[in-house]
Amino acid sequence: MLRRLAPALVLVFVLVLFFISYTRRVPLREFTVSRFMMDTYIQITVMEKDPAKAAAAIEDAFSVFKKVEDEMNFFSNSSLLSRLNKRAAAGVEVPEDIAFLIRESIKYGELSGGAYDITVGSLMKVWPFGESNPTVPDKKKISGALKEVGFRKIKINGRTLILEKGMEIDLSACDKGYAVDKAIEVLQRHGITSGMVNAGGNLKTIGVNIKGKPWFIGVQHPRKKSALLATLELDGRAVATSGDYQRFFFQNGVRYHHLLDPYTGYPARRCISATILAPTACLADILSTAVFVLGPDEGMKLLEKLGCDGIIVTEKEIFVSKGLQGKIKM
């Protein structure tokens, strides 16, 4: 009897061994660390087996954000950019990353016909977003600040920057995207093959998610707080959104938000949100602002010209670029 059952017992033994190895194998785990930096909430996620390797990669990726914040925070008097802005009328040497972002910003400032302008900082300082009991600034203050806006007056030769007196460079509409790209590069240098860097909804991914599937992203509905407007699978491109619901206040029933039109000095009114898919997070960041200010007609033309995709929402309509049609769920 026992002899006849022996093959069966051997099989059971093998199955037990298989079960033990199945439950004890070292799986790919998801590690996420979140921090408040660059005036937003940054989440870095990696898939790794080794916790120490994951922690080292994430820490190094966060150091990118620290460096960019220390260098480029427009609203901190101690940042390098603020100190450079004060001396730029006489000509200053800027670090290569700032010079790169200024050159990129001038390029996309031209392509967007001035809708994207890194000299709107003086205007941003006039508007009291984020303060208690904010009110619309006086017209004279806005027109005064507008005189210092105009990216075409920026002179940059190599790393030498010269600004007109009173003019200031504000990289807030591209620095987070730039930091996301650099943080992704850091993760890849650490050998991370799957992960995500998300700086307040401006995000880029590598590889696949913890389920082994393409990263699945939701687009915030601009008017329904707990709802998604759309979902889409990311194809390796970065995504960023600009919306009138991010920083705003109401006065006499009118919404005043932080995405200012460089031509008028007042909040841009052609749309209520713009979500952009671009090869880099820096470009997605830049284009989300540019397209928001341009609105759906000119915005879609710009996206088509650059081979990028987007979802542009106005109070009445939703516009989806050709490249995304059929690929998103509304």
What residues make contact with other proteins under the rule CB under 8 A? 1, 4-5, 8, 11-12, 15-16, 19, 22-23, 30, 32, 34, 36, 39-41, 43, 129-132, 196, 198, 200-203, 205, 209-210, 215-220, 225-226, 228, 231, 239-241, 243, 246-247, 249, 275
Q: Output 82 or 241, the one with its CB closest to other proteins.
A: 241
DSSP label at residue 267: B
Q: Output 179 or 239, the one with its CB closest to other proteins.
A: 239
C-beta separation of 186 from 60 below 8 A: yes
The residue type at 28: L
Q: How far is the CB of 67 from other proteins (least distance, A)?
A: 21
Q: How far is the CB of 53 from other proteins (least distance, A)?
A: 18
Q: How far is the CB of 310 from other proteins (least distance, A)?
A: 11
Q: Output 82 or 205, the one with its CB closest to other proteins.
A: 205
CA-CA distances (angstroms) from residue 294 to 13, 137, 174, 289, 309?
69, 23, 17, 9, 15
Q: How far is the CB of 246 from other proteins (least distance, A)?
A: 7
Q: How far is the CB of 203 from other proteins (least distance, A)?
A: 6
**Residues belonging to the chain:** 330
User: How far apart are the C-alpha atoms of 265 and 124, rounded to whole Å?
Assistant: 9
Q: Output 112 or 275, the one with its CB closest to other proteins.
A: 275
User: How far apart are the C-alpha atoms of 83 and 207, rounded to whole Å?
Assistant: 39
Q: Output 167 or 283, the one with its CB closest to other proteins.
A: 283
Q: Output 64 or 197, the one with its CB closest to other proteins.
A: 197
User: How far apart are the C-alpha atoms of 299 and 305, rounded to whole Å?
Assistant: 10
Q: How far is the CB of 247 from other proteins (least distance, A)?
A: 8
Q: Output 23 or 77, the one with its CB closest to other proteins.
A: 23
Distance of CA 179 to the CA centre of its chain: 9
Q: How far is the CB of 268 from other proteins (least distance, A)?
A: 18
Q: How far is the CB of 56 from other proteins (least distance, A)?
A: 20
Segments of 163-253 assigned E as strands: 195-199, 202-206, 216-220, 228-233, 238-243, 248-251
CA-CA distances (angstroms) from residue 247 to 130, 251, 279?
7, 14, 26
311 three-class SS: strand
Burial class from Cβ neighbours inside 10 Å (0-12, 13-18, 19+) for residue 13 reads exposed
Q: Output 36 or 96, the one with its CB closest to other proteins.
A: 36
Number of H helices, E strands in the chain: 9, 16
> Which conformational region is residue 261 in: left (phi greater than 0), alpha (psi within -120 to 50 degrees), or beta?
beta
